[in-house]
Amino acid sequence: MKRLICLSSLFFCAFPVWAEVGDAMSIVTTLGSLVFVIAFILVLAFLLKKMRLPALGHQKDLMIIRQLPIGTKEKLLVVQAGEEQFLVGATSHSIQLISKLEQPLASGSQSVEHPFAGQLNRFLKKNDKI
C-alpha cells in the first residue's frame, strides 16, 4: 500500500494539476476503472465462448452440411467426412451415429438458401435499381 501511495504521489508531482483532486479520489477512480476494464474483458470472453466461433482453419474433409434442432440441446446433423455423409444425433452428453446416407445431400452453394438470405438479397437488388 505504501508503494501505491508513493507511486501516486510521484505521479501527481509530475502532473501538478491533478494533485489538487486528492489522493483518495484518484485511487477510487483508478480502482473503479480497473474493475470496469476487468469486467468488460470477462463479459467479452463469455460472449465469445457462447458464440462458438468456428476455427480459423477451414476443414475441407469434415464439415456439417445441415442441422435440425429437435429440442433445447438436441439436434440432428448431416456430417460429411470425405465423400461420405452421415446422419448423426447430438445431445449435450453424447453423439450417436444414426445411419450412413446412401444419397448425399447437396452442400455449399448448391444447398437451399435461407429465407433471411433471400430477403436480404432481394432488398439489396431492389436498392441497386434505384
pLDDT in tens, the chain (130 residues): 555 455 555 555 555 555 555 677 788 899 999 999 999 999 999 888 888 766 555 566 788 888 899 989 999 999 988 889 999 999 999 999 999 998 888 765 444 556 787 778 787 877 666 5
The predicted pLDDT at position 110 comes to 44
Whether 85 and 78 have beta carbons less than 8 Å apart is answered as: yes
The predicted pLDDT at position 25 comes to 78
Provide φ and ψ at 12, rounded to 5°: -70, -30
Give the residue among 59, 104, 69, 64 at the shortest CA–CA distance from 84. 104
The predicted pLDDT at position 2 comes to 52
Write down the H helix ranges in the chain: 2-14, 23-51, 115-129
Q: Which residues contact 113 (CB under 8 A, 6 or more apart)?
A: 121
Rounded Cα distance between 86 and 77, Å, is 8
The predicted pLDDT at position 89 comes to 94
- Exposure of 70 in the CB half-sphere (CA atoms within 13 A): 9
